[in-house]
Amino acid sequence: MRVVVFDLDDTLYKEIDYLRSAYRYIAGQLAGDEVEREEIYSTLYGAYWEGCDAFAALMERYNDKAMTKATLLHWYRTHKPQISLCNGCREFLSRLVAEGCRLGIITDGRTVTQTNKIVALGLDRYIPDEDIIISERFGSEKPSPANYLHFMDKYGAEARFYYIADNTAKDFIAPNRLGWTTVCLKDNGQNVHKQDLSLPDDFLPKYTVEEFGDSLFELLNL
């Protein structure tokens, strides 16, 4: 049996799309009209690209007493995002299901935020809730082995385990040690967390692929 587990952010979809979606939502909440909506969005997105605190920039510009950082953060984390799977991802997931592979997710973050993303992407149609490991509700974060052992306990050590992810700092070290096949989806330049391929071997994926395409199918013998 093959058990294929995915990271979520910057693996199954691009996290920058979540950021854009959240900024659009915030602009919609605050603006009185279309022009103001665009201004607010541009202020947030511009500050982000300049490496500044986007919410501080917005509060400085609008100086609205009713606007607090807590409210902005709450909207950012709890809005229902408009995001979509990476190119080729849906076909890949369908093929895995058709081939009888078992799928899972290991992601770090808040339960509400990550669940909203998973529902928006339609991933709950492919993956049972118990195999969606979100750090907040699970109780530990990567690189804790516990998050990966969930799958080994469930499917038994004789299954073949794969982890497909993007973050060299924390994604691959535990599954490498547990004997999983680790695969990194290469940053196309948009990733929120940059990949560091100069880390010790323990941290690095066994394979790197550009996208959800033929090389990934070959890696899984599909």
**Footprint of Mg ion (CB under 5 A):** 7, 9-10, 166-167
Q: Which is nearer to Mg ion, 108 or 131 (CB)?
A: 108
What separation in angstroms does the CA of 139 have from each of 34, 79, 111, 151?
42, 23, 11, 15
Q: Which is nearer to Mg ion, 27 or 174 (CB)?
A: 174
CB 5 to Mg ion: min, Å:
13
Residues 6 or more apart from 205 whose CB is under 8 A from it? Answer: 165, 168, 171, 172, 182, 183, 184
Q: Are the C-beta atoms of 211 and 88 separated by less than 8 Å?
A: yes
C-alpha 170/C-alpha 106 separation (Å) is 12
Q: Residue 76's closest CA among 33, 19, 38, 34? A: 19
Q: Which is nearer to Mg ion, 76 or 172 (CB)?
A: 172
CB 128 to Mg ion: min, Å:
21
CB 66 to Mg ion: min, Å:
34
Q: Which is nearer to Mg ion, 7 or 131 (CB)?
A: 7
CB 185 to Mg ion: min, Å:
9
